[in-house]
Structure 1
Amino acid sequence: MTVEVALERVAHGGVVVGRSEGKVVFVTGGLPGERVRVEITETGARFDRGRLVDVLDAAPGRVTPPCPIAGRCGGCDWQHADQSTQLALKTAVVAEQLSRLAGIEWDGQVEPVPGGLLGWRTRVRYAVDDDGTVGFRARRSHDVVALPEVGCLIAAPGPEVAELTRVARPGADLEVTVADVTVVIATPAEARRPVHQEVRGRTYAVDAGGFWQVHPAAAEVLTGAVLDGLAPRRGESALDLYCGVGLFAGALVDAGCRVTGAEWGTRSVQHARANVPEARFLSGAVERIHRSLPARADLVVLDPPRKGAGSVVVGAVADRRPRAVAYVACDPAALARDLATFRDRGYRASSIRGFDLFPMTHHVECVAILHPLD
């Protein structure tokens, strides 16, 4: 079924909200202010989902997507928007989530980072169908959309499509990591191969298949925002929670702090101990091992997974009464929920910055700096 929809506002998740005969429709491929024709792809009791099939009245920020599969691939959300429009859309989403879930009226702007909109993604997971075709999953589907001859345009320079096809195994995902070397991960052994990233004069080893920020500017940008917000003082104690391979721990050590880190992934902790031998690291889920951490801390860095830190961890941090907390968030909804919990535990967000570390997608990274209310 195809319907005409007037699009109103952006919503979290790379969709724009419109209405058809009074019913809400979440539309992919559109922009606020447009009048479009939409194919309804999913129906529900309270709302439908649809994809744009024709633009009747275009918004000023609309552009032709550079990628030939942009409308079918589920990897990018905003290839049809220019950069300033993408930043405005992400700003609106962050502001809405903070207002609705935390009661915070944010007047900031999502900030661009060096590098432009294309050629930035250093870690890419490709889907491979049963016939060995390499591509990406379609939006909200298991179907594989084949890579075009030019490859993925947001991926950092790496293997050509022909090389990916040669090493692909039917039905098995294929990963590519671009760091000091390019690693095509086709076997479990390749996922454990260490690669190296340099940030602020310190080199960090990380498994090729392990966690590291996907934008080449991300580690530097986020470390700078954390240090600027915390203003660490020599001799202070600090916790780095969800520390990964020790990125923020290394920066805090280099600023003269005594650091304890915690991370559930044992391989990451092994790397962290080698990357930052000056710090102490514990292995285990933060919500379970927080009692083994120092009872007091001057500073805390939180960099939780997409679901957020949660009330147990937020409470454990607040109980230690740090003078400042840096919360690094890849999901504005999870950030907002945790900031509301922090407020209830006596901490307020004194600053919140958003960074466009995932151009062309709906994702955004935020850094919130918190201080005690009293």
Structure 2
Amino acid sequence: MSAPTPDLLGPVEVGPVAHGGHCVARLPLPGEPEGSGGGRVVFVRHALPGERVLLRVTDDSHAKFWRADAVEVLRASPDRVEPPCPVARPGLCGGCDFQHVDLAAQRRLKTAVVAEQLQRLAGIDWDGEVVGVDTPATADGLHWRTRMRYQVDDDGRAGLRAHRSHAVVPLPDGGCPIASTATPAVEGTTWPAGAELVAVAAADGPALLVDGRLREGRPAVVEQAADRRWEVAADGFWQVHPAAADTLVEAVLEGLAPRAGERAFDLYCGVGLFAGALAAAGCRVWGLEAGHQAVLAARRNLEEFGDRVRLRADRVERGLAKLPPRADLVVLDPPRSGAGKQVVAALLERRPRAVAYVACDPAALARDLATAARHGYEATSIRGFDLFPMTQHVECVAVLRPAG
């Protein structure tokens, strides 16, 4: 990456929001009039559609586009607010994308992103909306994140990475505003330089790990969701919003409408959240998860169902071939990169009557839905949930059924 340009550029008119936590603007090239529709594409953070801003370029290494921060707002959007965090500013913490945006407007932006990705990558015209799932403690979009991963700078201060950088921005006084107040406080303490801290607020209490070693709490915590208790490694995967697990289980069960005796696959099953919900509905469930420790925890979590739940530690790409040749239902909860063409094609060969796809990235979801369409499946519903306020991230649940 070339050195950032220190000079301010512009003014420019900010265009629509784009996937990734920025808006699109065009910087006129020499000799071009402003507003001509030409110019260099610039992905601008800390801006809003319709604003007029001055830019500082942060990355000019790409031939087709630059990246920049809006550092001076000449004409503000009515949706602009004062960021609640003092380090949610250009050049500082990269953990939040939308702290400068009113919470309701954040959800409108996310709705626009999901709709654009679905239309452009899958040809789907989506008229849904991204809705909030706030609890009384998180209604302002803050204090929701129950799992925090901090880095320690050379001076021993805990912080978060700057955007697209390894630089550590120390936490402000009072800590990160999106962190749950039940997570262990890490600010004001001197930590080993270069260490990674994992701070967790679980149903059975807090936990804190320093470079993977337990400093406080228990190595395996207990979470509560879907009317059950779930054992999870303190540094393992669990949904970070306190309402997320119940929200997603409800959406999956509503979309699949499982019937007793049906065969179901839970792919990327983690510690068994969806497998447990399907088993409780009377299904026989096969689960795949690459993480061996997560599968061990899932087996303990679901041992009451006996051999009605069979869980295997394997990569989904490889392990799917070892599952039964027929399935009635599938839950697909892949990582951010999506399931991919191979997995989507292989699971749809089983001709399930319904698939629930839980997606944390709308672009990956759209690509996989396009693959599903080529194999005779269509999305009969797509729901969006704002489980990550103040950030650009969004969770979707799509239900697929055989077309026609």
Instruction: Give the TM-score of the pair, scaled to structure 1.
Output: 0.97
**How does 1:1-374 map onto structure 2 within 5 Å?**
1-3=7-9, 4-21=11-28, 22-43=39-60, 44-71=62-89, 72-114=92-134, 115-116=138-139, 117-157=141-181, 158-162=183-187, 165-166=189-190, 168-179=191-202, 180-190=204-214, 193-277=219-303, 278=305, 279-374=309-404
Deviation of 1:189 after TM superposition, in Å, equals: 4.0
Q: Is the CA contact (8 Å cut-off) linking 1:70 and 1:76 kept in structure 2?
A: yes
Query: Secondary structure in 2 aligned to 1:97?
Result: helix
Quickly say closer, same or farther: Cα 1:136–1:189, change in 2 above 3 A: closer
Q: Is the CA contact (8 Å cut-off) linking 1:121 and 1:155 kept in structure 2?
A: yes
Deviation of 1:187 after TM superposition, in Å, equals: 4.0
Q: Is the CA contact (8 Å cut-off) linking 1:296 and 1:322 kept in structure 2?
A: yes
| Residue of structure 1 equivalent to 2:36 | none
Query: Secondary structure in 1 aligned to 2:97?
Result: coil
Q: Larger deviation: 122-131 or 297-306?
A: 122-131
Q: Is the CA contact (8 Å cut-off) linking 1:149 and 1:161 kept in structure 2?
A: no
Query: Secondary structure in 2 aligned to 1:297?
Result: coil
Q: Is the CA contact (8 Å cut-off) linking 2:148 and 2:199 kept in structure 1?
A: yes
User: Quick one: which amino acid aligns to residue 209 of structure 2?
Assistant: I
Q: Larger deviation: 244-253 or 111-120?
A: 111-120
* Unpaired segments ≥5 residues, structure 2: 1-6, 29-38
Q: Is the CA contact (8 Å cut-off) linking 2:25 and 2:43 kept in structure 1?
A: yes
Q: Is the CA contact (8 Å cut-off) linking 1:349 and 1:368 kept in structure 2?
A: yes
User: Quick one: which amino acid aligns to residue 258 of structure 1?
Assistant: R
Question: Alpha-carbon deviations, 1:319-374, whole Å to 9, x = none?
Answer: 10100000000000000000000000110000000000000000000000000014
Q: How far apart are the structure 1 equivalents of 2:248 and 2:205?
A: 23
Q: How far apart are the structure 2 equivalents of 1:150 and 1:127?
A: 17
User: Quick one: which amino acid aligns to residue 228 of structure 2?
Assistant: R
Q: How far apart are the structure 2 equivalents of 1:144 and 1:170?
A: 11
Question: Alpha-carbon deviations, 1:171-217, whole Å to 9, x = none?
Answer: 12111111021111114343981111111221110101111111010
* Unpaired segments ≥5 residues, structure 1: none
Q: What is the identity percentage for the equivalent residue pairs of Structure 1 and Structure 2?
A: 58
Q: How far apart are the structure 2 equivalents of 1:131 and 1:65?
A: 26
| Residue of structure 1 equivalent to 2:3 | none
User: Quick one: which amino acid aligns to residue 372 of structure 2?
Assistant: F
Q: How far apart are the structure 2 equivalents of 1:204 and 1:334?
A: 28
Q: How far apart are the structure 1 equivalents of 2:185 and 2:146?
A: 14
Q: Which runs of 4+ in 1 moved over 2 A?
A: 158-163, 187-192
Question: Alpha-carbon deviations, 1:82-120, whole Å to 9, x = none?
Answer: 111100110011011101110101110001112320000
Quickly say closer, same or farther: Cα 1:355–1:227, change in 2 above 3 A: same
* Aligned alpha-carbon RMSD (Å): 1.2
Instruction: Give the TM-score of the pair, scaled to structure 2.
Output: 0.90
Q: Is the CA contact (8 Å cut-off) linking 1:124 and 1:177 kept in structure 2?
A: yes
Q: Is the CA contact (8 Å cut-off) linking 2:195 and 2:211 kept in structure 1?
A: no
Q: Larger deviation: 40-49 or 303-312?
A: 40-49
Q: Is the CA contact (8 Å cut-off) linking 1:120 and 1:216 kept in structure 2?
A: yes
User: Quick one: which amino acid aligns to residue 290 of structure 2?
Assistant: W
Deviation of 1:162 after TM superposition, in Å, equals: 4.2
How many pairs align?
A: 372
Q: Larger deviation: 322-331 or 196-205?
A: 196-205
Q: Is the CA contact (8 Å cut-off) linking 1:91 and 1:109 kept in structure 2?
A: yes
| Residue of structure 1 equivalent to 2:33 | none
Deviation of 1:142 after TM superposition, in Å, equals: 1.2
Q: Is the CA contact (8 Å cut-off) linking 2:196 and 2:211 kept in structure 1?
A: no
Q: How far apart are the structure 2 equivalents of 1:64 and 1:299?
A: 46
Query: Secondary structure in 2 aligned to 1:56?
Result: strand
| Residue of structure 1 equivalent to 2:35 | none
Q: Is the CA contact (8 Å cut-off) linking 2:157 and 2:187 kept in structure 1?
A: no
User: Quick one: which amino acid aligns to residue 78 of structure 1?
Assistant: F
Deviation of 1:248 after TM superposition, in Å, equals: 0.2
User: Quick one: which amino acid aligns to residue 67 of structure 1?
Assistant: C
Q: How far apart are the structure 2 equivalents of 1:243 and 1:23?
A: 43
Query: Secondary structure in 2 aligned to 1:215?
Result: coil
Q: Is the CA contact (8 Å cut-off) linking 1:98 and 1:332 kept in structure 2?
A: yes
Q: How far apart are the structure 2 equivalents of 1:214 and 1:356?
A: 12
Q: How far apart are the structure 1 equivalents of 2:155 and 2:401?
A: 55
